[in-house]
Amino acid sequence: MPRDKAPIPRTLRTPAQLEAAGLVRPDALPELERVAESFAVAVTPAMAELIDPTDPADPIARQFVPTGAELDVRPEEMDDPIGDDPHSPVKGIVHRYRDRLLLKPVHACPVYCRFCFRREMVGPGSEALTTAELDAALAYIADHEEVWEVVLTGGDPLVLSPRRLGEIVRRLNDIPHVGIVRFHTRVPVVDPDRVTAEMVDALKGGRAATWVMLHSNHWREITDQARTAIGRLVDAGIPMLAQTVLLKGVNDDAATLTRTFRALVQARVKPHYLHHGDLAKGTAQFRTSVAEGRALMRELRGDVSGLCQPTYVLDIPGGHGKVPLTPDYLEPGAEPDAWTVTDPRGGRHPYRG
């Protein structure tokens, strides 16, 4: 979206920088400084240029620009809402599921989402794993032959240099039982220039397959530059999925979700998960109800291509894993093998089988 001010040359990291760029009001600065004391701030030029500062409901600003609402911390909100810590046997590893685990080599991101479920753990000054810590994490993976998939997350692993990324991918490829190396990232949409040919070469595995899971929440994030970055990955043979967070005031209506999922599919990225909002501190402003999310998924089912249908999931607080929150379409009948099936428009039909 066009802006009246000059282009923004660098990532905005303080409330004062946001104010100078015209993204927050001067009278909001004292409150936003309090927010920044607890939660990291960063808005890349690619995202700042998309924000319409005249629109108080701008969905890009809502995701990245801090507000005083983040100071409202509810009793049910937690430092570690999805329970990473109890499943972290070695620094940098979260092993919640038998055949896959998280490897978190870095806790920095190019942007800091205001709804982030790891917002207590990420930010400037959050260290990357040292050489010894990375060695220990990779040794853990090598020692656990049940681990088939390694998910690199953090933070955003694509903030690492291509040299460092390539080293990690090579070392994972040297572990015989690792079959998939998956990267979770926001970089192709929030900092697309970072996706260079050198980075793509670093991500490509050898024996193990590389997948990229893109985090994108709104169709306006899928700019021409983002499509170019995604194209570099997909054209290199790296398949891509997407995860989206259901966010009040950003994408909590069927029209926005439809347009977002269609934009992803047109960019050759398959929507995989629609996450229900986590109970992270200061994020109540973003959370919908489960009932609202289920109703949206039912609305999408009827008239939107199956390619655009993610699974609506909840990461159960306390580290118990993800479960689908899918609407119900099937009810048992009075007799064996008798069912009633509800179609996407609410019609009910008998079925035997």
- Nearest to 119, CA basis, from 44, 182, 64, 195: 64
Amino acid at 162: P
| DSSP assignment string, 255-301 | HHHHHHHHHHHHTT-EEEEEEPPP-BTT-GGG---HHHHHHHHHHHH
Q: Where are the beta strands (DSSP E) in 17-99?
A: 93-97
Q: How far is CA 194 from CA 12, 189, 190, 233, 320, in A?
A: 17, 10, 9, 12, 35
Write down the residue that tokens 């038998």 correspond to.
Answer: 98
Phi then psi dihedrals of residue 42, to 5 deg: -165, 130
Kindly state the DSSP code that residue 146 receives in the 8-state scheme.
Answer: T
Query: Long-range pairs for 34-38 at CB < 8 Å and ≥24 separation?
Result: 34/68, 34/71, 35/66, 35/67, 35/68, 35/70, 35/71, 35/282, 36/66, 38/70, 38/281, 38/282
Give the residue numbers marked as catalytic: 96-97, 100, 109, 113, 116, 118, 278, 315, 322
- CA–CA dist 309, 324 (Å, integer): 13
- CA–CA dist 223, 191 (Å, integer): 11
Cα atoms in the 13 Å half-sphere on the side-chain side of 267: 30
- CA–CA dist 155, 184 (Å, integer): 9
Kindly state the DSSP code that residue 346 receives in the 8-state scheme.
Answer: S
- Nearest to 44, CA basis, from 217, 188, 242: 188
Query: Long-range pairs for 286-290 at CB < 8 Å and ≥24 separation?
Result: 286/114, 286/115, 286/245, 286/247, 286/248, 286/249, 286/250, 287/248, 288/246, 288/247, 288/248, 288/252, 290/314, 290/325
